[in-house]
Structure formats: structure tokens, C-alpha cells
Amino acid sequence: MSILIKNASYIITFNDRDEILENADLLIKGNKIVAVGQDLSLTSSTSLDKPEIIDAQGMAVLPGLVNTHHHLYQTLFRGLPEVQGMPLFYWLINLYEFWRHIIPDAVYYGAMVGFSELLRTGCTLTTDHHYVFPRGQASNFIDTQITAAQEIGIRFHATRGSMSLGKSEGGLPPDEVVQDPETILKDSQRLIERYHDPSPYAMTRLALAPCSPFSVSLDLMRQSQILAREKGVMLHTHLAETLDEEKFCLERYGRRPVELMEDVGWIGPDVWFAHAIHLSEREIALLAQSGSGVAHCPSSNMKLGSGICPTSDLVKAGAKLGIAVDGSASNDGSNMWEEVRRAYLLNHLRYKDEGLSAYETLRCATRGGADVLGRPDTGRLEAGKAADIILIDLQDVAYAGSHDPLVSIVCCGNQSLVDTTIVNGKVVVRRGQLLTQDTEEIRKKAHQVACKIVQKERGLKN
């Protein structure tokens, strides 16, 4: 399949030369970009090939946004009054009671809801961090997520999350949602060997992701990094998200969260951390020098009152920085475009006129996120890169009076649906509508599953 994107008002490439082309074209063949420039033409090599031409006049063309941290199952637990306004630890303690009832259908439809929102708001590559495996349930939740990703057509980095440190051993989660290390490591190896694709343009990859310093043992952290490096997959965890976490680590281990990661070998270009808010100057320099990545989650950090990620300091130090929606229960949406806006605004709240520009913010959301996830094959628009592309219509009335496309994309607009999303050379969203699945059917079934789980827990409490 060939696609020619023609007459784009702007093509924002995020290539090594930081080129922004005006009145230009982009040519896709199969799952790759083959050319970007002016006056490109499209020829069909066979009678079976039906090339498509997309008129992009009045549109901005960008690499697809990359979501570097999520908890897809949480899309079924949005807007719960029981947890509104709580800081992270109390928020988690209350939500664990609902999450202990998770079933495979919840994982599947939670993923479908999240994927739908992500694709419609410009995300072409997402990761997920699933760490809740209630006792008595099947342990194939990650398989279920991968099936959903394949059906809907999104590029997906699944992570095998885990919790092993239950409340009885001084951890935060209740014992009935944690697993023993042997079970975790065995399933981690199974998933890597079955699904991980290390080749360029891979649609599915795996990473290992013990949940956090307050929900797993240090031994599991060590064993996970040994297994990950044996198998050549990345490592992911929450880190330095709140002062409560810092206090927990100091009281239990006598170490700050980043220092703990150093102790267990969790520093390097194959590691990325969610949040990374409470960092010292030395820790920022360490993350940059080691090549470790950071997933910045602006909405979640604001809603839970966790703090503001030192984004400009990380970028200035040379750290890899991406943007993420985080779990939907802590931001109430899987809206990647909105996270870009909030990342820009939150950065300027902290750094004022020394904050990141609109271009730098979008770079973090595209190329930056791809770098965090170890994907140099996407996140840029140039020949040889994956055909992961979004088109944003700048002719909407919300952009009237705007004089810079970059500032407009980041700061203007009263909705977040892109016009077109292309993943791996296939159009999956057109005029804001998902083409691969029925979103109304997803909504109905997801809401039914969500209501059953919530009603079950509320019934037990009553």
C-alpha cells in the first residue's frame, strides 16, 4: 500500500536538522516513509496496489505522538468519588480495593478504551504498565492487552509489571494483589520469549516493570534487571513521584529513590522512569549521563498534587524526556494531545520565560518519547523511518488569528482529535473517527464491565 500526503501546509519533521517544510509532500510505501519534499509523485507498480492520495492543504503533518507511561486498566475506574482529591498513597490504598476484582474482560476493554482515545488524539506508539494480578485470576493479562493492540492497530510496548511487597511485609498494596517473585519472573520470561520483537518497525515489544520501591522487594528489582538484560529488553518503574515515596525509601532503606536504583543496577539507556519529580542536581546529571529516560506525566502530577517534574533541567542536562498520559484514574483521560498542552503550561509555571518552547515540547512528545523507548525507527519524519504520522487540521475556527503553527498546535484549539492517524503505513483514524473498531460498542461493553466491578466492591463495603 502506498500513500502520498500532498500539499501539506507544514511538515514538522523533528529530524536531525530540525526541518519544518512548507507546502510539501510525504510519500509512504508499505510501513515506511520513503521521501519527504516538494512535488513528490505516486506511481502504482502493480494492478493490486491501490495508492491513496491525501490532500493535506491547511494541515500540519507531524510524527505520531509517543505515550511513555500508562495504566490502561484504569480507564474503567475514572471519576470515582471515593478517591477524588487524595494524594498518591491514600489514592492507591483506596483504589486497590476496587482493582482486586479485575478480570480479563476488564483488561481487554480497558485497553480498548485507552487505545481508542490515544489513536484519536494523535498517539501512534504507546507503552503500558500493568502490575495488578489479583489472586485467583488468570495471569494472562498482558497477552490480553497485546491482543487488543493488534486488533485496534496501535504500536505497543507492553510491560510486565509486578508487585511483590504486600502490606504484611511493609509494602503499600494488600497481599491479595501481589505475587511471589518466582511467579513474576517465570511469566516475564514467557512473555518476552513469546511476544518481544527487537527488529526495526516492530509493532510489539516487551519490557519488565516492577511497580515501585514501595510495592516490590529490592531482590525482585535485581532479578528483573538481570532477566531483562539477558533477554535484551528494557526496564521501567515509577520513581521519585512523591515526597511520601522519598520518606518511605529513606526510612526503610536509608536511601533516596534514585540512590536505590543505583544500588540495584537500574540506571542506563535501557531504563526509563515514570514521573521523576523529586530529583537533586546530582540525580538529574546521573540520569542524563547514564542515558536513562523519563516519562513526564503532567495531568497526573497535578491531579494527585505530586509536584512538577524538572523538565527544563532534564532537557538542559541532556536527559531523554518523553510525555505520558499516565493511568486514566489519575488524569481521567488518555488524551495525548492534551498532555502536550499541559506539559508546556506546567513547564512555564515552573520556569516562566526560561521554559521549553512549543517546538521543544512537541519534540519531547514525538522524537523524545521514541528515544525514551529505544525506538530510533519512529518519532521523526524522514526517509527510512516508520510511517507513524498524524495530520492536524489548522483550518478549524479555533486556529483563526494564529500566526505560528507550532504555538497553535500546542496552545490553541478547543478539542484534541486529530484529523488523521497513520500507524505502520495504515490509516487508522480519519476525520477524528477510529476506522478499525466500533468505539460505541467499546464504550458500552467497557462501561458494563466497569460498573460490575465497582458495584461488587461497594456491595462488599455495605
Q: Residue 10 forms beta bridges with which residues?
A: 22, 60
Residue 139 has pLDDT above 80, yes or no: no
Domain assignments of the chain as residue spans, ordered by start: 2-63+379-431, 65-372
Q: What is the distance, to the nearest Å, from the Cα of residue 80 to the centroid of all Cα atoms in its chain?
A: 23
Q: What is the pLDDT of residue 279?
A: 98
pLDDT of 80 > 80? The answer is: yes
Q: How far apart are CA 218 and CA 261, in angstroms?
A: 9
Share of the chain above pLDDT 90, in %: 89
Average pLDDT over residues 433-455: 97
Contact 351, 312 (CB under 8 A): yes
- What pLDDT score does 200 carry? 97
The matching CATH number, chosen from 3.40.630.30, 3.20.20.140, 3.90.650.10, 3.50.50.60, for 65-372 is: 3.20.20.140
Buried-state track 210-247, b at ≥16 Cβ within 10 A, e below 16: bbbbbbbbbebbebbbebbeebebbbbbbbbbbeebbe
Least confident of 79-83, 263-267, 375-379, 442-446: 79-83
Q: Mean pLDDT across the stretch 64-79?
A: 96
Phi-psi region of 23 (alpha: psi -120 to 50; beta: other; left: phi over 0): left
How many CB atoms are closer than 10 A to CB 314? 21
CATH fourth-level superfamily of 2-63+379-431: Urease, subunit C, domain 1 (2.30.40.10)
Rg from Cα positions in the chain: 21
Q: Which residue has the cell 512548507?
A: 22
pLDDT tens by residue, 300-357 = 999 999 999 999 999 999 999 999 999 988 888 999 999 999 999 999 999 999 999 9
State the pLDDT confidence band at 278, using cuts at 50, 70 and 90. Answer: very high
Element (H, E) at 449: helix 439-461
Alpha carbon 95 to its chain's center: 21
411, 344, 409: which is closest to 9 by C-alpha? 409
- What does the alpha-carbon distance between residue 118 and residue 333 come to, in Å, rounded to a whole number? 9
